Amino acid sequence: MSEVIKNRYEFVILFDVENGNPNGDPDAGNMPRIDPESGLGLVTDVCLKRKIRNYVETVKEDEDGYKIYIKEDIPLNRSDREACAAFGVTESDDKKVTEGLKKLKKNDPDADVKLRDYMCKHFFDIRTFGAVMTTFVKASLNCGQVRGPVQIGFARSIDPIISQEVTITRVAITTEKDAENKSTEMGRKSIVPYGLYRAEGYISANLARKVTGFSEDDLELLWEAIINMFENDHSAARGKMAVRELIVFKHSKELGDCPAYKLFDAVEVKKNDDVEYPRRYQDYCVKIHEENIPQSIEIKRMI
């Protein structure tokens, strides 16, 4: 694995959705998430990180060092036990595992730290985003809360979105009894006709060096995953989604050259003057005001 990153980064992601639901809200009938005050659409950080995890899992296929800790239908303790086995605790019974971990802790006061480092080394998403491992095999050992160097905020649409409910029908009837009375069944799905979303993220070289060991190879994989996070995750419910821009700011040193907000403020995204209702990415103009950015910061548009 390559060396740990030495530079701080900030980045801006622009992605859009056409005739789809980018992130349904389970508390609102799975309708697209909307800020009730501004009408702007929202996509949670958890949703975006899930797409990144899915891409890495697809590309690396559980390759050593690039496993995914938070996976669908996989209990966390199952992955925890992999780390336990590496330190000689191989029992399958929960009670015996607990006893084994207590013995391990008694013999080695640094067992918590060593297990944490093992998890960071073997699981990409822990090394990247961090993880809460205070429930490590029923809290027999406390690997603590690992703060990852990569943090992504909520995505917010550039303009207010309109959530439409579309009525759909199907010809397959569920039960024999219903089939005697009707030939179709009705349903509804929620879509956003068009929305351009913006998310902002941070990468701390300081945390990478001190805690997780996030490397230059990890960084390149992260950029690749962000750019392609919707390409292998298409579904009818999400419609047409694509990452349109990934703008990266690279600082010259570990702790950075200027506050992150100055870099984010330098990225201006607005719809064209002759457009009232945006319906495609070309209806927007993206401009970076480089005059407001210190010369020591490298700017790169990855797409």
Kind plus residue range of the DSSP H or E element containing 44: none
- pLDDT value of position 63: 92
Q: Are 54 and 231 in contact (CB under 8 A)?
A: no
- pLDDT value of position 25: 92
Tell me the C-alpha to C-alpha distance, in Å, between residue 118 and each of 4, 123, 241, 246.
16, 8, 36, 31
- pLDDT value of position 62: 87
- pLDDT value of position 175: 79
- pLDDT value of position 188: 80
Tell me the C-alpha to C-alpha distance, in Å, between residue 180 and each of 175, 177, 197, 198.
9, 5, 46, 50
Counted residue by residue, the chain has a size of 303
Q: Which residue has the tokens 């990153």?
A: 5
Spans of the chain below 50 pLDDT:
none
| Predicted confidence (pLDDT) per residue in 248-275, tens digit | 999 999 999 999 999 999 999 999 999 9
- pLDDT value of position 143: 60
User: What tokens were used for 301?
Assistant: 């548009």
Taking the chain, what is the end-to-end CA distance rounded to the nearest angstrom? Answer: 26
CA–CA dist 68, 60 (Å, integer): 10
- pLDDT value of position 140: 53
User: What tokens were used for 124?
Assistant: 């990409």
Q: Are 226 and 56 in contact (CB under 8 A)?
A: no
- pLDDT value of position 172: 78
Q: Are 25 and 32 in contact (CB under 8 A)?
A: yes
24: left (phi over 0), alpha (psi -120 to 50) or beta: beta
- pLDDT value of position 244: 98
